[in-house]
Amino acid sequence: MVKRHVNWDKLSALVKNGVPSLGALFKDDPNRAARMSFAHGGLYVDVSKQLISKDVLQALLGLAKDAEIEAQRADLFAGKPINTTENRAVLHPALRGSCGDASISEQVEAMGIRTRKFAQAIRESGQYKAVVHIGIGGSDLGPRLLADGFAASLGFGAQPALELRFANNVDGASINDALAGLDPKSTLVVMVSKTFTTQETRMNGKAARDWLGQFAQDNMIAVTANQGGARNFGVDPAQIFEFWDWVGGRFSLWSAVSLSLQLVYGPDMFDDFLAGAADMDAHFKSAPLENNLPVILALTDIWNRNFLSYPARAVIPYARRLRKFSSFLQQLEMESNGKSAALDGKPATQTSQVVFGDEGTNAQHAFFQQLHQGTDVVPVDFLAVLTDRENRPAHTSALLANCFAQSEALMRGKSETEVRKGLKAKGMNAADIDALAPHKTFPGNRPSTTIVLERLDAHTLGALIALYEHKVFVTSVIWNINAFDQWGVELGKELAGTILDELQGGTDGGHDSSTAALIALARKAQADA
């Protein structure tokens, strides 16, 4: 359980006594927007539209101190084994130079030199036209996000040196789509798997290896912590790149896991990405809690989840180049903090929210109806980019207008009195007004955070991702859970292996009647095919 300190009880009492509306909070504090907005490294974070009063904010900051955030943060950057269930250090900040361990820094620097040299040689050779990146989970979501984000740095009309495609799903359509129309001779295949035992990656890798044929020896690359497994798969040792046990998959995009991005966009852009994250690391380490962006975002989540009981959060990037950000955060947040056991093994309090989202303005035409008028309140993270990089300034203005309007509309709503007045002004009769007014009323008072990027480039993207990484860490500390294991994904994998054996002719594994019937159905379909 979370330690019940005085500030936890104080927050509970503040909820019990009634939380002021957003309208009242803004009316009572003319300086609220400035006081509740924070900026660093090209990011502007506005939490003024969250249901957080001055008293709530002070109690939340007290809660952070109760949880000894500063000491826990120091342990993270010192490389202490804070992943207690696996007895591992958590050293992904070392991948961007933010860890003081000399031996780790040497390993990271050596691998960085090697990946840079390799990427430059490939780009200068002119021999290849495409890269197919094979991975799943953290070996896919991060690189996909970077592929879109790095494209923004190129600017309108510019093309990367190589075409980049991805295969992740074990569904055969994934690898087929990735390879379609490419030439094996001029295609590099990069397999990314920490263990090199991941079923989806190995199956897709085998399909790609068979497709490469005589070019497989030269054109296959592996990124893994299991170099022996990659060698046994047939990858040339000279083309195996390492990342380490102390890098969790969802935190691994800072490593050689993103080699494909260096091949396609160049090592300089990747270095700029690392520098942006390092800048956010420095801010997280040194800024006072009351001005610390990751801490402020974490405390907002704690307030919404544990005290206002909002179980979900929408993440809406109003930028096509950030369209994968919601999916990336689903893994980062839900795999990290979707835990029901505290560090001492006892039941945890309410932990991670359900995270979902889509790019704006598409999301407005899909599920914003629920956000505005649904019976459940769902806080929203809005993301926007100020600087146009697509040579379409009118589009950028329209995008920003929609983003800002949605957060305002969620806050303000529209009262039945306002609706009735508007309908009457249009000449509608009283009976029709009575029938329609409830349907056009918006409750409002729905909280949101807006994060504005001055520009979208590799540096700012690095800062943004590191911001959310550290936010996840802070919330895990307050919840007293381990953000760095993921035992929950293992059971399904084990059962899938058993069932796959049965589908391929093995003996029955003794299942419940539903699962047994589904297996029988699949066997019959395979036999009839």
Q: Is 49 among the residues known to form the active site?
A: no
Q: What is the pLDDT of residues 354-389, one digit of tens each?
A: 999 999 999 999 999 999 999 999 999 999 999 988
- Tokens encoding 330: 């689903």
Provide long-range contacts, Cβ within 8 A and 24+ apart, for 11-15: 11/56, 11/59, 11/60, 11/63, 11/303, 11/306, 11/307, 12/307, 14/53, 14/55, 14/56, 14/59, 14/307, 15/307, 15/308
Nearest Cα residue to 198 out of 220, 226, 164: 226
Q: Minimal CA–CA distance to 380: which of 329, 453, 456?
A: 329
| pLDDT at site 348 | 94
Q: How would you classify the pairing of strands 448-453 and 43-46? A: antiparallel
Q: What pLDDT does residue 504 have? A: 86
Give tens-digit pLDDT for 457-499.
999 999 999 999 999 999 999 999 999 999 988 888 788 888 9
Rounded to an integer, the average pLDDT of 283-311 is 98
User: Could you tell me the pTM of the whole model?
Assistant: 0.95
pLDDT in tens, 382-426: 999 999 888 899 999 999 999 999 999 999 999 999 999 999 999
Cα–Cα distance between 271 and 267 in angstroms, integer? Answer: 6
For residue 28, pLDDT beyond 70: yes
From start to end of 160-229, where are the E strands?
A: 163-167, 187-192, 220-224
Q: Residue 24: its pLDDT value, please? A: 97
- Stretch among 53-57, 127-131, 371-375, 512-516 having the lowest mean pLDDT: 512-516
Please report the pLDDT score of residue 128 as a whole number.
Answer: 98
- State residue 498's pLDDT score: 86
Is 335 an annotated catalytic residue?
A: yes
Tell me the C-alpha distance between 329 and 347, whole Å: 24
Q: Which CATH class is domain 7-81+275-404+449-481?
A: alpha beta
The residue from 5, 80, 365, 524 that is catalytic is 365
Given the residues 117, 395, 424, 493, select the one marked as catalytic: 493
Provide the CA 477 distance to its chain's centre, in angstroms: 19
Average pLDDT, the chain: 95
How confident is the model at residue 272, as a pLDDT? Answer: 98
Tell whether the model's pLDDT for residue 1 goes beyond 70. no
Please determine, for residue 79, whether its predicted confidence score (pLDDT) is greater than 60: yes
> What one-letter code names the amino acid at 314?
A
pLDDT of residue 379: 98
Nearest one of 168, 188, 165, 189 to 178, comparing CA atoms? 165
Distance CA 181, CA 519 (A): 35
Span 195-245, pLDDT tens digits: 999 999 999 999 999 999 999 999 999 999 999 999 999 999 999 999 998
Using DSSP, state whether 165 is helix, strand or coil: strand
Query: What is the per-residue DSSP string for 24-53?
Result: HHHHH-TTHHHHTEEEETTEEEE-TTSS--
- Going from N- to C-terminal start, the domains of the chain cover 7-81+275-404+449-481, 92-271, 413-445, 488-528
Residue 382 CB-density burial (10 A; 0-12 exposed, 13-18 middle, 19+ buried): buried
Phi, psi of 505 (to 5 degrees): 105, 5
**In CATH terms, is domain 92-271 a member of 3.40.50.10490?**
yes
490 a catalytic residue: no
Q: Give yes or no for residue 146 having a pLDDT over 70.
A: yes
pLDDT at 4 over 70: no
62-66 mean pLDDT: 95
**Where is pLDDT greater, at 98 or 59?**
59
Out of 200, 242, 335, 359, pick the active-site residue.
335
Q: How far apart are CA 350 and CA 82, in angstroms?
A: 21
Task: Say if 7-81+275-404+449-481 and 92-271 have the same CATH topology.
Answer: yes
**Per-residue pLDDT, 21:** 97
